[in-house]
Amino acid sequence: DKFLIPGAIDVHVHFRDPGAPEKEDWATGSAAALAGGVTMVLDMPNTNPATITVEALEAKHAIARAKSQTHYGLFFGATRDNLDEIRRAENIVGIKIYMGSSTGNLLLDDPAVWEEVFKIAKEKNVPVVVHAETESMIQAGKRDCECAKVATEAAIALREKVGNRLHIAHVSCKLELDLIRAHKCPELTCEVTPHHLLFTADDTKDAFLKMNPPLRSQADQDALWEGLRDGTIDCIATDHAPHTKEEKLRPFAEAPAGVPGIEFMLPLMLNAVNEGKLTLEKLVALTSENPARIFGLHVMGWSLVDMNLEKIIQISDIRSKFGWSPYLGRTIKGWPAQVWL
Ligand code: DOR
Ligand code: ZN
C-alpha cells in the first residue's frame, strides 16, 4: 500500500522572502513543502522588493540558494515600465501579470502592455502566467465569475494573436473552464488550487478563507473536479499565500487575502484519490509531469506515499511560520511517509 511517486512541483507559491519574514521565509516555506512531498516550488514576484528588476531577481536567487531545502524557480513580474528588465532577465521560469489587483502592487491593467509582455515571453520561450481578474470590475465590487471570465477571455484572445505560451493561474469558475476547454492547446494551460477544490463560498465565515480569486459555488467546484478529470486543468498548485493570524483576525474588509496550503496539498489530494475522486496516475500528472513540461523543469525527488496512513491535520504538523491552516481538524487518509531530494 505504499507507492513511490515523483516529487511534486508546486508552480505557485508566495514565500514572502524578501520582505515579510513574519509571514514566511525560504527556510520555513521550503521545510513545509518538503514535509508535504513537494520537492520543487516556483515563487511569485509580489515580494518586497518585488521581483521586477534583474537586481531584485538576483537578490532573491541568492536568498533562495542559501535557505531553500527544496529545488526552486522564480517568476519575474511585469509592470508598465519594466519591459527592458524583463528582456534582460535570465534564469526565470515565467513572467507573471496581475491583470487585476491583489496582494502587493503589481497591477498591470493595460492591454497594450500585456501584448508587449506576451511578445517578450514568446521571444524568451517562457510562459506568461496571468492572475485573470478584471480590474474595473474589482473596483466596482464585483469580484465574481464574470470578473474572472472577462480577463481570461482577453488573455486567451491575445495569446492566439501573439502565439506565445499562456498559463492561467488559480482557475475557480465553470465560466473560465468552459472558455479554456474551447481554446485548449499545448500552449494554453491552467492550474487549480486545493482550496477552490475543497471549499465553497458558503464556507467563508471570516477572513481566514479570504483569497483572490474568492471561493465560488458548489456548481463551480463540481466543474473544477470535472476539469481535472477531462484534462482541461493541467496542474494542482497551492497559491500558498501566508498571512499572520493577527492579520486574518481583522474585520473581513481589512484582512489581507490569501491562504496557505503547501504542506497539505499532496495529503489532501491523496485523500481524494482514496475517495475515488481521481486516480493516483492522474494526480502525479497534475503535480509532477505537467508542471515539469509546462515550465521546462526536471522532476527532482521522490515521495513514498502511504495510502493507508490516516491522520488528523493538527497545528503541531505545521512547519510554516504563521501557525494556522484552513484544513486543521480534517482526517486525511494518504500521506507522504518519506521524501527524497
Ligand atoms: O489571495 C491571494 N493572495 N491572491 C493573490 O493573488 C496573491 C496572494 C498573496 O500574495 O497574498
Ligand atoms: Zn498567487
Is 23 touching ligand 1 by the criterion CB < 6 Å?
Answer: no
Name the DSSP letter for residue 7: P
- What pLDDT sits at residue 322? 87
- CB-CB contact of 51 with 78 (8 Å): no
300 pLDDT above the threshold of 90: no
Q: Could you tell me if the CB of 248 is within 6 A of ligand 1? A: no
Q: Is 212 in the pocket of ligand 1 (CB under 6 A)?
A: yes
pLDDT at residue 230, as a whole number: 96
Whether ligand 1 lies within 6 angstroms of the CB of 106 is answered as no
Residue 105 reports pLDDT greater than 90: no
Q: Which atom of ligand 1 is nearest to the CA of 46?
A: 10
Say if residue 299's pLDDT is above 90.
no
Give residue-wise pLDDT tens across range 177-235: 999 999 999 999 999 999 999 999 999 999 999 999 999 999 999 999 999 999 999 99
The 8-class DSSP code of residue 51 comes to: S
Closest ligand by atom to 247 CA? 1
pLDDT of residue 1: 81
The set of residues, in sequence order, having a beta carbon less than 8 Å from that of 113 and lying 6+ positions away, is 78, 80, 83
Of 58-62, 66-70, 101-105, 324-328, the least confident: 101-105
Confidence of residue 127 (pLDDT cuts 50, 70, 90): very high
| Whether the CB of 241 sits within 6 Å of ligand 1 | yes
230 has catalytic annotation: no
* Ligand 1 closest atom vs CA 14: 10
Averaged pLDDT score across all residues of the chain = 97
By most ligand atoms within 8 Å of CB, the mutation choice from 212, 247, 320 for ligand 1 is: 212
Distance, CA of 25 to CA of 29 (rounded, Å): 6
Torsion from C-alpha of 20, 255, 129, 189, nearest 10 degrees = 130
Task: Compute the CA torsion angle 239, 236, 289, 222 (nearest 10 deg).
Answer: -160
- For residue 211, how far is its CA from the centre of ligand 2 (angstroms)? 9
Nearest-CA residue for atom 7 of ligand 1: 103
Mean pLDDT of 9-37: 97
CA angle 277, 156, 185 (to 5 degrees): 55
Whether this prediction's pTM lies above 0.85 is answered by yes
Q: Kindly give the number of the ligand 1 atom that is closest to the alpha carbon of 169.
A: 6
**Pocket lining: 103 vs ligand 1, CB cutoff 6 Å:** yes
Residue 158 scores a pLDDT above 90: yes
Identify the residue whose C-alpha is closest to ligand 1 atom 4: 212
Catalytically annotated residue among 17, 25, 239, 306: 239
Determine the pLDDT at residue 30.
98
Written as one string, the DSSP assignment of 95-144 is EEEESS--SSS-B---HHHHHHHHHHHHHHT--EEEE---HHHHHTT--S
Instruction: Let me know: does 224 contact 197? Beta carbons within 8 Å.
Output: yes
Ligand 1 atom closest to the CA of 104, numbered from 1: 10
Could you tell me the distance, in angstroms and rounded to a whole number, from the CA of residue 161 to the centre of ligand 1? 29
Q: Which residues contact residue 185 at a Cβ distance below 8 angstroms, ignoring those fewer than 6 apart?
A: none
| Ligand 1 near 100 CB (within 6 A) | no
Contact 41, 300 (CB under 8 A): no
Backbone angles phi, psi at 161, to 5 degrees: -70, -45
